[in-house]
Structure 1
């Protein structure tokens, strides 16, 4: 008998309480190399811990083979930074899922615009710029630029990029464009899933002068003629139109594909149909099997 909705229970992803765990009982999944410790990201974590302590607890799961031990799922850099700072224990979130891949796949890292809003919030609450800069391991000039990140960016473009990892330089480039072109460029970044500085520069290079703000001139690319830039501009416009067409039909197309895959799967589950295909259309059977496999792995 199938249990009713009221009888079903949903398993919690984490234990309810934070636990203070000694580092000797935490086993990391990998070692943090000296090269990693030399990166800017690690330096920012060290500076943040030194200035304001641990903000985001590290995530562990209980070792099924040893009840005293825990496996470190997320926060290897924080774990090492705490040890380097002389700490011997920390507050931890205990996950009920012991698969690090599954956990990390669901993590959304802080995007550039989200960091900008966090900085504005901290400054509004009265945190001095100097202390915030030390916590983020950046100089005052960089902090001020992060604070002014969206000055000159239209709200529609900002909304498109609100959860994307776009570099500060990328936003500087977008600010050279007028709002309609900013929106087009942001849509192209999202459609191509490319947020690099070079891609932003290529979009700027392909932008007509009448879509640039006063005094903004794109950097000349060596070996690229005006004709090639015009071609890039046309291709950019064509891609923008194609993206809009895809957006308009994506939902129904996806539904049709799901239904078609389900139908093919049902056909292949029939032994007589499978045997008929093997005898009379053997070239179709492997392709149908690929479709059913894709459905199984796509969920």
Structure 2
């Protein structure tokens, strides 16, 4: 479709000004106070270590003071500013927001997943950054850095793709490494479907994995505190669970479509006053169920599935 000659293209509203500005730290007013425990947290120590080694990676976000004074309001970067103050810095380069909405920008950003962190560290090493410097910047010891470097050793590419943006810890990959390729993929899908990446859950899946699907198939599987009989029952239960999940996945789209059509049809029926009176007088139990179906929201429908 051609644009009419009289129409003018809409301009894009930018969230930040074009250039960063270097501001005196004393002129930046935080919009919230840090908790007392913040400076003893691991996150704060990592920020301090990162600034000491490579400087400020992500500039704080500020907005001009509405009263026209020389002060600036700090929208995001409170811990970075505190770390800079503790380090004796007097100035900092900032991003200037065009919106004075006082929300925390980081709440809109996904946290770095372990696989993403692994790839970031590997890429830094490929570019010649020493492991020691990476450890100092992340406030980690060398053994932790090496574990992160080897995170995906023995993990199939399909499982990596499934878990690439998930909060799967090193313990998850340690368990996956004991499984064969197809079982790794199945386990990754189970973790995502359950939205559970805990050590206990992945170890339960490992315990319920048949011996033939483990890397060391010739070596008898042993799980502390679990008898062979209990292990056999866990394997059977896990197999049934996987069959149930597969069945739901196969029919989810069709079931959702049927529910949408039924909901629309019942909505039209209940819009007829004569039908509603008939149901109320002769089949009140049907009327209650029909009304319940028409009031189902998309979120409730997903939960019902």
Q: Shorter chain as normaliser: what TM range? A: 0.7 to 0.9
Q: Is the 8 A contact 2:263 2:294 kept in 1?
A: no
Cα deviation digits, residues 86-115 of structure 1 (max 9, x gap)? 2244222334451526x4443111111111
Q: Mapping of 1:144-293 within 5 angstroms?
A: 144-214=146-216, 220-222=223-225, 224-251=226-253, 253-254=255-256, 280=280, 283=288, 287=292, 290-291=295-296
TM-score when scaled to structure 1? Answer: 0.78
- C-alpha displacement at 1:64, in angstroms? 4.9
TM-score when scaled to structure 2? Answer: 0.76
What's the secondary structure of 2:173's corresponding residue? Answer: helix
- C-alpha displacement at 1:158, in angstroms? 0.7
Equivalent of 1:94, from 93, 96, 112? 96
What's the secondary structure of 1:90's corresponding residue? Answer: strand
- Residue equivalent to 2:303: none
Identify unmatched segments of 5+ residues in structure 2: 301-305
Q: Is the 8 A contact 1:261 1:292 kept in 2?
A: no
- Residue equivalent to 1:134: 136
Change (3 A) 1:206 1:127: same
Cα deviation digits, residues 149-201 of structure 1 (max 9, x gap)? 11100101111110011112221121111111111111111001111122121
- C-alpha displacement at 1:245, in angstroms? 3.6
Equivalent of 1:31, from 33, 57, 65? 33
Question: For 2:81 and 2:125, how far apart are their aligned partners in 1?
Answer: 28
Q: Is the 8 A contact 1:22 1:88 kept in 2?
A: yes
Question: For 1:266 and 1:96, how far apart are their aligned partners in 2?
Answer: 47
Cα deviation digits, residues 42-91 of structure 1 (max 9, x gap)? 22221111111111222344555666554444333323222222224422
Question: For 2:266 and 2:219, how far apart are their aligned partners in 1?
Answer: 55
Q: Is the 8 A contact 1:265 1:292 kept in 2?
A: no
- Alignment length (residue pairs): 288
Q: Max radius of gyration: which structure? A: 2
Question: For 1:96 and 1:253, how far apart are their aligned partners in 2?
Answer: 46
- C-alpha displacement at 1:27, in angstroms? 3.9
Question: For 1:71 and 1:289, how far apart are their aligned partners in 2?
Answer: 48
What's the secondary structure of 1:100's corresponding residue? Answer: coil
Question: For 2:76 and 2:263, how far apart are their aligned partners in 1?
Answer: 36
- C-alpha displacement at 1:243, in angstroms? 3.2
